[in-house]
């Protein structure tokens, strides 16, 4: 133990209390022995520090903070240096707000484009995610604030995220869903990791020894603390035993009592508890000392350079500029026919679209920031070298048709040289807590586009959406700029790119497919009952589309520039590749160069190519540079489930470099010695995987890669348990419970029909399991009370009610007694 001196001075009650939250956002403090609280805030695209009472999903307002572009947006920059700068901006702002842990970056892999939280995540590719997240973590932590990578792991769906189980084979787990976390841990030393709500192969992530202890700590060398997602603790004793340090938010002292009882009964040893206390203490001491140092400096040097560390106005100004730069570097130019962009000097433009008046700039849920200022196109366009002929809203944000708005927009479009049409997904469409049901944008926007195109063929579309949308209407535009969710300074960033003040250099971090039905996990997503079966295995995103030859609209890695680049002279060396890149156009610009690796005649099934390196290279017009991309331990490795280790298959590998996963400019081959001897699969049984034919994988083939029979995930409709979701009360025996279900359901549907920002709290309640009632009520409800509530739901009203009442008084008394011991 690192801090035995302090741990030994703590009482058993203090230790147990220390491992769960004191309030919605704080850990416990014991000033008697020099332990202060740490304060945690979301993350990831800005600081969401609640001003008053904390309430998880943010009913109470949070303090003003810079809203940076969402992670899905920043990912398109493919620029680790930029990510580090953004991380530093976030860290600086967090420190000034007294936040010790920033709950981000969100690093889950985009398994399916419907996931409501994809805007908060980076990519469908683990290498890209890992490298960018690592850079962000380095930036945040350079300011004395801990980053908290989340949600560890395999959290790919929002639907009943607290009551579902990801069934996944070990190779897919390692190669696709864990690699990004591995890169971040090894390359940026995050001080915190958040365990996810779901189960992974039948064990809650927060109790999963394989994930938290064997892989995270032992294999990767993680030495920070593991915190549960808010309400993700199931059995606190099992969590602590298997490697989780801090249960959040605030379960009262019920969890601490569970832990004390666990030690008494032998379910967990005092040594195990002490170990977790020591790990958490290590970070708490470090963070509180850092914060103290910064504040001390501030007091000592008031008005000098150090003082600006805490000068919120100066930080907000700097971060607004940084948010603008980051957004501009991340936007993806998808189309540019007739070189309609950049707009020429004094072009007469019509600005159309509700989003030009009130931008769609961030996603909803725990990441939602109270932005310091939000720019909009209508107010800013006049400041550029353009002639604005007028502005029109064009469509209603809630999706309803409005012929008057269309009429105004069309007559305006006729007067302009170029129409700029701003549109995309509305607030209701993507949010934490819900998965989308389709990938379309509202129909009223499509109606408008058609009418505008009839009126003026020189139309440029500017899209705001945090995740993939179908674009069957793309041919209506000569130019298309995908701004994703660009943060509070998105409007000036858009205008910078449209006018050519910034040459676009964003490339897609995810595939824009033709239609949702093409998605590899289409038949398996989301889990309908308990289990989500990852039958598509490693064929996620472009790994599938490229291998199975499924045409897509814009491939992974794609993005245009106002200049052109030429690749030549590819050489492969032992340590990596080298080639020459030349800017062959007339404008300065940056290219995202991507290295893909595939294997010829592999004895395993594999994606035809996988991203294994990339760089963003800036070149002046006409300039050329030698570029190197190194190989690393991930370039050739595969996970062998038979030997349970990373191995290299000997043979010929194809190394390609290019501007997207389809636009490969140069390719060469390299021979590699290997150490893979035992082929882990019987090809007869899982032949479909060898053809990337994974849309309807049979049980036999799936079992071959899992290594065990497919577990059943059917709900028990006869009787509900504490881990079933509240929406399962649909099946409840108790008529009162069924009534409660109906009320919840009606409330949810009503809020969905109303439009606007989704009702997160209702969504959360609808999908949460009964046990979360105990975990999220600040000590008012104990786990024993929850068990009695479930009895009532199952039709034993009087027994259950009796239990609730007697437990209520016992819990209250014991909480009070415990509190006295902590004073
Ligand atoms: C989210 C986390 C977030 C936490 C605290 C949870 O609902 O899944 O990402 O950090 O709430 O707000």
What pLDDT does residue 624 have? 98
Give the residue, by CA position, lying nearest to ligand 1 atom 4: 230
Q: Is any atom of ligand 1 closer than 6 Å to the C-beta of 56?
A: yes
Q: Is any atom of ligand 1 closer than 6 Å to the C-beta of 150?
A: yes
Tokens of 140: 């945040």
Q: Which atom of ligand 1 is nearest to the CA of 56?
A: 12
Q: Residue with structure tokens 């070298």?
A: 385
Query: Which tens digit of pLDDT belongs to each residue from 280-290?
Result: 999 999 999 99
Q: Which atom of ligand 1 is nearest to the CA of 104?
A: 10
SS (H, E, C) 638-652: EEECCCCEEEECCEE
pTM: 0.97
What pLDDT does residue 749 have? 86
Instruction: Kindly give the distance from the C-alpha atom of residue 432 to the centroid of ligand 1, in angstroms, as a whole number.
Output: 9
726 φ/ψ angles, rounded to the nearest 5 degrees? -60, -30
Annotated active-site residue 229? The verdict is: yes
Residue 802 pLDDT exceeds 90:
yes
What pLDDT does residue 58 have? 57
Instruction: Kindly give the distance from the C-alpha atom of residue 158 to the centroid of ligand 1, in angstroms, as a whole number.
Output: 12
Q: How confident is the model at residue 55 (pLDDT cuts 50, 70, 90)?
A: low
Instruction: Kindly give the distance from the C-alpha atom of residue 230 to the centroid of ligand 1, in angstroms, as a whole number.
Output: 6
Residue 779 pLDDT exceeds 70:
yes
Q: How confident is the model at residue 762 (pLDDT cuts 50, 70, 90)?
A: confident
Q: Indicate the DSSP class of residue 554.
A: B
Instruction: Kindly give the distance from the C-alpha atom of residue 97 to the centroid of ligand 1, in angstroms, as a whole number.
Output: 19
What pLDDT does residue 758 have? 73
Query: Which tens digit of pLDDT belongs to each residue from 640-680?
Result: 999 999 999 999 999 999 999 999 999 999 999 999 999 99
Q: Is any atom of ligand 1 closer than 6 Å to the C-beta of 366?
A: yes
Query: Which tens digit of pLDDT belongs to each residue from 436-466?
Result: 999 999 999 999 999 999 999 999 999 999 9
- The helix/strand/coil state of 713 is coil
Q: Is any atom of ligand 1 closer than 6 Å to the C-beta of 141?
A: no
Q: Is any atom of ligand 1 closer than 6 Å to the C-beta of 42?
A: yes
Instruction: Kindly give the distance from the C-alpha atom of residue 188 to the centroid of ligand 1, in angstroms, as a whole number.
Output: 22
Query: Which tens digit of pLDDT belongs to each residue from 228-238?
Result: 999 999 999 99
From CA 154, how far away is CA 174, in angstroms rounded? 10
Residue 607 pLDDT exceeds 90:
yes
Q: Is any atom of ligand 1 closer than 6 Å to the C-beta of 49?
A: no
Instruction: Kindly give the distance from the C-alpha atom of residue 366 to the centroid of ligand 1, in angstroms, as a whole number.
Output: 5
Q: Is any atom of ligand 1 closer than 6 Å to the C-beta of 230?
A: yes
Over pLDDT 70: what percentage of the chain?
98
User: Are the C-beta atoms of 769 and 199 separated by less than 8 Å?
Assistant: no
Peptide bond into 105 cis (omega under 30): yes
Query: Which tens digit of pLDDT belongs to each residue from 780-790?
Result: 999 999 999 99
Q: Is 599 exposed, middle or buried (0-12, 13-18, 19+ CB in 10 A)?
A: buried
Query: Which residue would you say has higher pLDDT here, 482 or 56?
Result: 482
From CA 34, how far away is CA 47, in angstroms rounded? 27
Residue 392 pLDDT exceeds 80:
yes
Average pLDDT, the chain: 95
Residue 367 pLDDT exceeds 80:
yes
What pLDDT does residue 59 have? 59
Query: Which tens digit of pLDDT belongs to each residue from 95-118?
Result: 999 999 999 999 999 999 999 999
Q: What is the mean pLDDT of residues 53-62?
A: 68
What pLDDT does residue 615 have? 98
Residue 527 pLDDT exceeds 80:
yes
Q: How confident is the model at residue 277 (pLDDT cuts 50, 70, 90)?
A: very high
Q: Is any atom of ligand 1 closer than 6 Å to the C-beta of 439?
A: no
Residue 53 pLDDT exceeds 80:
no
Residue 599 pLDDT exceeds 70:
yes
Q: Is any atom of ligand 1 closer than 6 Å to the C-beta of 158?
A: no
Which is the catalytic residue, given 42, 79, 169, 229? Answer: 229
Q: Which atom of ligand 1 is nearest to the CA of 151?
A: 9
Q: How many residues does the chain have?
A: 823
Q: How confident is the model at residue 303 (pLDDT cuts 50, 70, 90)?
A: low
Q: Is any atom of ligand 1 closer than 6 Å to the C-beta of 535?
A: no
Instruction: Kindly give the distance from the C-alpha atom of residue 228 to the centroid of ligand 1, in angstroms, as a whole number.
Output: 9
Q: Is any atom of ligand 1 closer than 6 Å to the C-beta of 103?
A: yes
Q: Which atom of ligand 1 is nearest to the CA of 42?
A: 10
Q: What is the mean pLDDT of residues 403-409?
A: 98
What pLDDT does residue 302 have? 62
Residue 190 pLDDT exceeds 70:
yes
The residue whose CB lies within 8 Å of the most ligand 1 atoms, and thus the one to mutate among 26, 39, 42, is 42
Q: Is any atom of ligand 1 closer than 6 Å to the C-beta of 229?
A: yes
The residue whose CB lies within 8 Å of the most ligand 1 atoms, and thus the one to mutate among 432, 767, 769, 776, is 432
Q: Which atom of ligand 1 is nearest to the CA of 120?
A: 9
Residues 6+ apart with CB under 8 A from 231: 56, 162, 197, 249, 768, 772, 775, 776
Q: Is 380 exposed, middle or buried (0-12, 13-18, 19+ CB in 10 A)?
A: middle
Q: What is the mean pLDDT of residues 415-429?
A: 95
Residue 77 pLDDT exceeds 70:
yes
Residue 61 pLDDT exceeds 90:
no
Rg (CA), the chain: 27
Query: Which tens digit of pLDDT belongs to each residue from 727-759?
Result: 999 999 999 999 999 999 999 888 877 766 778
Instruction: Kindly give the distance from the C-alpha atom of residue 286 to the centroid of ligand 1, in angstroms, as a whole number.
Output: 24
SS (H, E, C) 153-201: CCCCCCCCCCCCEEECCHHHHHHHHHHHHHHHHHHHCCCEEEECCCEEC
Residue 796 pLDDT exceeds 90:
yes
Give the residue, by CA position, lying nearest to ligand 1 atom 7: 230
From CA 490, how far away is CA 464, in angstroms rounded? 10
What pLDDT does residue 528 have? 84
Q: What is the mean pLDDT of residues 562-590?
A: 97
Instruction: Kindly give the distance from the C-alpha atom of residue 37 to the centroid of ligand 1, in angstroms, as a whole number.
Output: 19
Residue 306 pLDDT exceeds 60:
no
Instruction: Kindly give the distance from the C-alpha atom of residue 648 to the centroid of ligand 1, in angstroms, as a whole number.
Output: 38
Q: What is the mean pLDDT of residues 163-169?
A: 96
Q: Which atom of ligand 1 is nearest to the CA of 106?
A: 9
Give the residue, by CA position, lying nearest to ligand 1 atom 11: 230
Give the residue, by CA position, lying nearest to ligand 1 atom 2: 229
What pLDDT does residue 539 have? 98
Q: How confident is the model at residue 297 (pLDDT cuts 50, 70, 90)?
A: confident
Q: Is any atom of ligand 1 closer than 6 Å to the C-beta of 117?
A: no
Give the residue, by CA position, lying nearest to ligand 1 atom 3: 366
Q: What is the mean pLDDT of residues 691-697?
A: 97
What pLDDT does residue 759 have? 80
Instruction: Kindly give the distance from the C-alpha atom of residue 227 to the centroid of ligand 1, in angstroms, as a whole number.
Output: 11
């Amino acid at each position: 133990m690192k801090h035995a001196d302090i741990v030994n001075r703590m009482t058993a009650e203090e230790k147990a209390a220390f491992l769960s939250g004191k309030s919605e956002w704080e850990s416990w403090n014991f000033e008697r022995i020099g332990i202060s609280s740490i304060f945690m805030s979301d993350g990831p695209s800005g600081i969401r520090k609640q001003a008053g009472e904390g309430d998880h999903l943010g009913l109470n307002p949070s303090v003003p903070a810079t809203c940076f572009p969402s992670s899905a947006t920043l990912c398109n920059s493919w620029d680790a240096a930029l990510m580090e700068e953004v991380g530093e901006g976030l860290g600086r702002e967090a420190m000034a707000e007294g936040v010790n842990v920033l709950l981000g970056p969100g690093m889950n892999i985009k398994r399916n484009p419907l996931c409501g939280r994809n805007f908060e995540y980076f990519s469908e590719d683990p290498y890209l995610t890992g490298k960018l997240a690592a850079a962000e973590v380095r930036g945040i932590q350079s300011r004395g604030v801990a980053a908290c990578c989340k949600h560890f792991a395999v959290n790919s769906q929002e639907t009943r995220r607290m009551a579902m189980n990801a069934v996944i084979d070990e190779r897919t787990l390692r190669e696709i869903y864990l690699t990004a976390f591995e890169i971040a841990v090894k390359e940026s030393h995050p001080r915190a990791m958040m365990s996810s709500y779901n189960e992974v192969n039948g064990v809650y992530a927060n109790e999963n020894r394989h994930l938290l202890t064997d892989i995270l700590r032992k294999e990767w060398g993680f030495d920070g603390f593991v915190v549960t997602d808010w309400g993700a603790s199931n059995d606190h004793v099992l969590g602590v035993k298997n490697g989780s340090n801090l249960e959040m938010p605030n379960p009262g002292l019920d969890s601490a009592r569970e832990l004390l009882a666990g030690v008494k009964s032998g379910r967990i040893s005092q040594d195990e508890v002490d170990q977790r206390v020591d790990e958490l203490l290590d970070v708490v001491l470090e963070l509180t000392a850092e914060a103290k140092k910064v504040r001390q400096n501030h007091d000592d040097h008031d008005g000098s350079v150090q003082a600006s560390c805490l000068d919120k106005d100066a930080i907000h100004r700097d971060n607004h500029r940084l948010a603008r730069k980051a957004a501009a570097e991340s936007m993806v130019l998808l189309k540019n026919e007739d070189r309609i962009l950049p707009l020429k000097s004094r072009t007469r433009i019509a600005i159309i679209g509700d989003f030009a008046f009130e931008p769609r700039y961030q996603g909803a849920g725990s990441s939602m920031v109270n932005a310091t200022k939000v720019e909009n196109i209508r107010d800013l366009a006049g400041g550029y070298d353009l002639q604005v002929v007028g502005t029109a809203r064009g469509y209603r944000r809630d999706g309803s048709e409005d012929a008057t708005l269309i009429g105004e927009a069309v007559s305006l479009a006729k007067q302009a040289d170029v129409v700029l049409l701003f549109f995309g997904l509305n607030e209701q469409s993507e949010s934490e807590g819900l998965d989308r049901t389709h990938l379309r944008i509202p129909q009223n926007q499509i109606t408008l586009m058609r009418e505008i195109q009839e009126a003026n063929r020189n139309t440029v579309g500017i899209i705001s959406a945090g995740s993939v949308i179908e674009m069957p209407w793309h041919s209506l535009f000569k130019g298309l700029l995908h701004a994703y969710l660009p943060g509070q300074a998105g409007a000036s960033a858009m205008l910078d790119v449209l006018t050519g003040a910034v040459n676009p250099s964003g490339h897609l971090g995810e595939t824009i497919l033709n239609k949702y039905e093409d998605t590899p996990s289409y038949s398996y997503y989301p889990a309908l009952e308990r289990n989500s079966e990852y039958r598509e295995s490693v064929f996620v995103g472009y790994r599938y589309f490229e291998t199975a030859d499924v045409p897509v609209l814009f491939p992974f890695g794609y993005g245009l520039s106002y200049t052109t680049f030429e690749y030549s002279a590819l050489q492969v060396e032992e340590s990596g590749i080298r080639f020459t890149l030349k800017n062959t156009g007339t404008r300065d610009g940056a290219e995202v160069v991507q290295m893909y690796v595939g294997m010829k005649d592999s004895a395993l099934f594999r994606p035809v190519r996988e991203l294994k390196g990339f760089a963003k290279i800036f070149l002046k017009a006409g300039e050329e540079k030698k570029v190197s991309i190194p190989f690393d331990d991930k370039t050739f490795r595969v996970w062998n489930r038979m030997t349970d280790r990373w191995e290299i298959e000997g043979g010929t590998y194809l190394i390609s470099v290019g501007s997207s996963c389809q636009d490969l400019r140069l390719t060469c081959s390299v021979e590699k010695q290997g150490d893979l001897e035992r082929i882990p699969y019987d090809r007869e049984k899982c032949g479909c995987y060898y053809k990337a034919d994974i849309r309807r994988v049979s049980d036999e083939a799936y079992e071959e890669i899992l290594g065990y029979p497919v577990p059943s995930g059917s709900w028990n409709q006869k009787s509900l348990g504490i881990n079933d979701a509240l929406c399962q009360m649909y099946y409840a025996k108790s008529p009162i419970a069924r009534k409660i279900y109906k009320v919840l359901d009606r409330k949810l549907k009503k809020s969905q029909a109303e439009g606007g920002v989704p009702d997160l709290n209702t969504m959360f309640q609808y999908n949460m399991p009964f046990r979360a009632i105990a975990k999220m009520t600040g000590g008012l409800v104990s786990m024993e009370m929850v068990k009695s509530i479930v009895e009532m739901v199952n039709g034993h009203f009087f027994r259950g009610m009796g239990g609730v009442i007697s437990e209520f008084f016992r819990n209250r008394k014991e909480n009070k007694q415990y509190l006295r011991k902590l004073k």
